[in-house]
């Protein structure tokens, strides 16, 4: 009996020693990650192959990884660097570790699929680095499933399609540049108008995006998703580039380093773009961009970025043309019914982004911005429908000042118990739009004002706050958050003989919950749920006495990202999105009208394959079923909502001195009106670019629409009347897509 008891006691003692040993040795592994030059690296992915714990380096290149033990294998991964594997020893746990990553060409080997809400953004940045954007239009196309179209000359913001939305110019996707909003509330042309032409493509560092209303730091217009462009804080070398091609196209770009020191960098960038386009009436398009950026970083203390930019553009346009005018040989595909359309616009921005390090794992992030913006657009959608003598040309104009600020406190790596971690952030901010002389009027030849339809001043303010948490336990990540927004809408009608000023206000609460499960470092499952909203135009809000001010959106995503082998990443998502109110832009009146509740459900599939070090393939396919919920079957189509889209291509990098890309995009046929009696035709278009580099010189060719496909870029079901018609006709009106378009390019870095 005593013998058995002694052995039981010995076994118990052994188990206690083992348990104590595990508890003692399950520690936080801390350290710093740099490149070979000693520069600190942010957002390096860190994964413990043994325990499944994962983390990322912070703004100072520092990291903390809980539940680390001797002999654990820790993976350090970052785009553009070789993956490093660290086997933990006692010195690492007691003294910390310094990891040095070596640079290498960008490929999928460097991607680790862990529980990050924005995991797809990180993966798509491989696409961006392998295939840098070559024009302003290509910036948004980098988001999987997002397509765009131009329909009034190169200076107007593009029409956007995403997740079964014809978003017009931005009503249901929130777009920003380094945190500064691009969407314009209560815009003269359309709610949410988002013009990205003030961004010089060569200054883009990466794109952060998310689909659905699941992100607490994104507010107005974040229903179908958001896109945030991040600009380069500094540049390695100065660069000069010149492009020339068909249609009298010339483009000059310059990036110049003007300051380099241990703590500070500064550069300026400029762009001049001139083209007539393929149209019978030349576009006479010109765009000028200039940007200056200063970056200061005192490691472990603070980081500051100051940005100033100015953009201006002017153009003529052929507008949308009716199919019957081409069928009757009145005009050709690239002709015009009213070639006096066009416009001009400018935007000047001043941005501040500041991070204060309150400790190794506490940060205070502040951003502020002010923009001066003006816009003038002449359009003619219906030709001679309303005025058979002078035509139906309209002028839309505004003069706007935007200002705003946001401050966010962030605490990371709070250890809960032995294995769990928690982080949170909370922020407050505001945005004010002061819009003077918002105008809609009937004009003739851009000169004579025949009638004023609307004229007034808008003052709109959005004050908001949000709290965002992230709790990791084992392989699970829970991300609850909530956002509160308050809006005040003020509109003064200056057409009234008396003082006519109306004001309305509204608040909304938007809760969200994202749940992620990492089966291993290369397989993620996620379930995202949340509420979002888009605001209505202040003129509509005040006219409707506060009804339909902030229509809600309810979303759910269920999906997976998996990397079955080192060189292959696959993703799949099932999603649904339900809106309390849809908005439709009425072109002939230049207003936005509500059109009821809608539902969208869809599936997204994507794949990226690193066939070799120099060859990269990718493709994304999307299907959406979009319908109005308040109309009878057969009359419930959402006009121009895309149901099937696909994009993809291949990239060649470092194949000797050669590099290049071959890309395609496909948009299927879709209903142009509510009963599908008018159909907008789909298209399949392929683009190509090839480059040859020797020393610091690069020469290349850029070909849009390689196979010279005849396609309609944007299409609308519009009722119009031509000058020789006695009755109106409703049919497809379209802007023809670019034909085969060849440009040559030469650039030098120094």
The Cα–Cα gap between 146 and 143 comes to: 6
Average pLDDT over residues 537-560: 89
At residue 115, the pLDDT reads 59
Residue 41: how many CB atoms within 10 A of its CB? 18
Bridge partners for 443 per DSSP: 449
Residue appearing with tokens 């009034």:
152
pTM here is 0.91
CATH class (in words) of the domain with range 225-749: mainly beta
Mean per-residue pLDDT, 416-433: 90
Q: What is the pLDDT of residues 168-180, one digit of tens each?
A: 888 999 999 999 9
Q: Please, are residues 408 and 391 in contact by the beta-carbon 8 Å criterion?
A: no
Beta bridge partners of 314: 286, 344
pLDDT, tens only, 601-660:
999 999 999 998 899 999 999 999 999 999 999 999 999 999 999 999 999 988 999 999
Residues whose CB falls within 8 Å of the CB of residue 21, separated by 6 or more in sequence, listed in order: none
Residue of higher predicted confidence among 87 and 129: 87
Q: What is the pLDDT of residue 105?
A: 74
pLDDT in tens, 252-262: 999 999 999 98
297: left (phi over 0), alpha (psi -120 to 50) or beta: beta
Name the pLDDT band for 250 (thresholds 50, 70, 90).
very high
Q: Which helix (H) or strand (E) holds 127?
A: helix 119-130
pLDDT value at residue 11: 39
pLDDT on residue 80:
80
Q: Tell me: the pLDDT tens digits for 28-71? A: 888 999 988 888 888 888 888 887 777 888 877 888 888 788 99
More confident residue, 416 or 635: 635
Please report the pLDDT score of residue 533 as a whole number.
95
Determine the topology of domain 26-104 in CATH.
Answer: Immunoglobulin-like (2.60.40)
pLDDT digits (tens, 9 = 90+) for 388-411: 999 999 999 999 999 999 999 999
Q: Is the pLDDT of residue 479 over 80?
A: yes
> How far apart, in whole angstroms, are the C-alpha atoms of residue 143 and residue 212?
13
Spell out the SS3 assignment of 585-646: EECCCCEEEECCCEEEEEEEEEEEEEEECCEEEEEEEEEEEEEECCCCCCCCECCCCCCEEE
Say if residue 23's pLDDT is above 70.
Answer: no
What are residue 3's phi and psi, to 5 degrees? -60, -45
Work out the mean pLDDT of the chain and round it to a whole number. Answer: 90
Grade residue 137 by pLDDT with cuts at 50, 70 and 90. Answer: low
| Top-confidence residue, 92 or 290 | 290
pLDDT confidence band for 212 (50 / 70 / 90):
very high
Instruction: In whole angstroms, give the CA distance from residue 293 to residue 428.
Output: 26
In the chain, where are the structural domains located? Answer: 26-104, 118-211, 225-749
Confidence at 299, pLDDT banded by 50, 70, 90: confident
C-beta neighbour count of 87 within 10 angstroms: 11
Name the pairing type of β-strands 264-275 and 97-101: unpaired
3-state secondary structure of 304: strand
Residue 593 confidence class, pLDDT cut points 50, 70, 90: low
- List of residues 6+ apart from 26 with CB closer than 8 A: 66, 67, 68, 69, 418, 419
What pLDDT, on the 0 to 100 scale, is given for residue 449? 96
């Amino acid at each position: 009996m005593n013998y058995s008891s002694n052995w039981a006691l010995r076994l118990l003692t052994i188990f206690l020693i083992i348990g104590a040993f595990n508890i003692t040795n399950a520690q936080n592994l801390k350290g710093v990650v740099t490149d070979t030059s000693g520069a600190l690296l942010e957002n390096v992915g860190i994964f413990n192959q043994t325990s499944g714990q994962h983390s990322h380096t912070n703004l100072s290149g520092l990291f903390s990884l809980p539940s680390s033990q001797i002999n654990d294998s820790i993976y350090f991964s970052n785009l553009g660097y070789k993956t490093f594997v660290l086997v933990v020893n006692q010195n690492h746990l007691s003294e910390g570790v310094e990891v040095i990553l070596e640079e290498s060409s960008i490929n999928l080997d460097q991607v680790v699929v862990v529980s990050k809400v924005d995991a797809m953004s990180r993966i798509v940045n491989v696409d961006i680095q392998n295939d840098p954007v070559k024009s302003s239009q290509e910036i948004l196309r980098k988001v999987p499933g997002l397509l765009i179209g131009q329909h009034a000359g190169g200076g107007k913001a593009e029409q956007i399609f995403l997740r079964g939305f014809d978003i017009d110019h931005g009503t249901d996707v929130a777009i920003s540049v380094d945190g500064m909003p691009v969407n314009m509330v209560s815009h003269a042309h359309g709610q949410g108008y988002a013009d990205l032409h003030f961004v010089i493509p060569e200054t883009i560092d990466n794109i952060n995006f998310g689909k659905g209303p699941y992100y607490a730091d994104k507010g107005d217009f974040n229903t179908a998703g958001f896109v945030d462009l991040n600009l380069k804080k500094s540049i390695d070398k100065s660069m000069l580039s010149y492009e020339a091609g068909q249609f009298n196209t010339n483009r000059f770009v310059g990036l110049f380093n003007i300051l380099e020191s241990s703590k500070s960098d500064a550069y300026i960038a400029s762009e001049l773009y001139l083209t007539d386009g393929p149209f019978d009436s030349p576009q006479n398009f010109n765009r000028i961009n200039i940007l200056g950026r200063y970056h200061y970083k005192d490691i472990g203390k603070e980081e500051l970025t100051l940005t100033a930019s100015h953009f201006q553009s002017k153009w003529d346009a052929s507008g949308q043309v009716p199919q019957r005018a081409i069928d009757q040989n009145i005009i050709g595909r690239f002709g015009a019914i009213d070639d006096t359309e066009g416009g001009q616009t400018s935007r000047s921005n001043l941005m501040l982004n500041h991070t204060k390090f309150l400790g190794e794992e506490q940060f205070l992030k502040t951003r502020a911005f002010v923009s001066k913006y003006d816009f003038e657009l002449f359009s003619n959608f219906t030709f001679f429908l309303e005025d058979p003598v002078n035509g139906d040309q309209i002028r839309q104009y505004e003069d706007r000042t935007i200002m705003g600020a946001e401050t966010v406190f962030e605490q990371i790596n709070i250890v809960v118990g032995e294995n769990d971690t928690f982080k949170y952030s909370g922020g407050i901010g505001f945005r004010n739009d002061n819009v003077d002389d918002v105008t809609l009027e009937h004009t003739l030849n851009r000169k004579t004002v025949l009638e004023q339809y609307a004229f007034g001043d808008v003052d709109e303010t959005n004050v908001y706050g949000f709290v965002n948490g992230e709790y990791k336990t084992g392989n699970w990540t829970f991300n609850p958050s909530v956002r509160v927004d308050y809006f005040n809408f003020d509109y003064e009608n200056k057409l009234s003989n008396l003082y006519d000023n109306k004001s309305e206000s509204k608040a909304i609460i938007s809760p969200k919950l994202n749940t992620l499960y990492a089966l291993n470092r290369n397989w993620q499952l996620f379930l995202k749920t949340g509420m979002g909203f888009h605001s209505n135009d202040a003129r509509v809000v005040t006219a409707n006495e506060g009804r339909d001010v902030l229509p809600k959106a309810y979303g759910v995503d269920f999906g997976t990202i998996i990397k079955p082998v080192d060189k292959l990443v696959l993703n799949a998502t099932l999603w649904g999105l339900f809106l309390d109110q849809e908005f439709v832009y009425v072109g002939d009146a230049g207003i936005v009208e509500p059109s009821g509740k809608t539902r969208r459900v869809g599936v997204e599939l994507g794949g990226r394959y690193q066939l070799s070090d120099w060859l990269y393939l990718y493709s994304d396919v999307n299907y959406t079923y979009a319908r109005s919920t308040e109309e009878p079957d057969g009359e419930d189509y959402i006009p121009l909502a895309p149901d099937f889209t696909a994009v993809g291509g291949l990239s060649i990098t470092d194949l000797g001195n050669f590099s290049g890309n071959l890309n395609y995009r496909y948009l299927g046929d879709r209903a142009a009106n509510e009963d599908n009696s008018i159909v907008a035709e789909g298209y399949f278009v392929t683009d190509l670019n090839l480059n040859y580099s020797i020393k610091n010189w690069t020469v290349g060719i850029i070909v849009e629409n390689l196979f010279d496909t005849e396609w309609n870029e944007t299409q609308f079901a519009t009722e119009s009347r031509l000058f020789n018609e006695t009755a109106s006709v409703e049919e497809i009106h379209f802007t023809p897509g670019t034909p085969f378009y060849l440009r040559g390019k030469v650039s030098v870095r120094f």
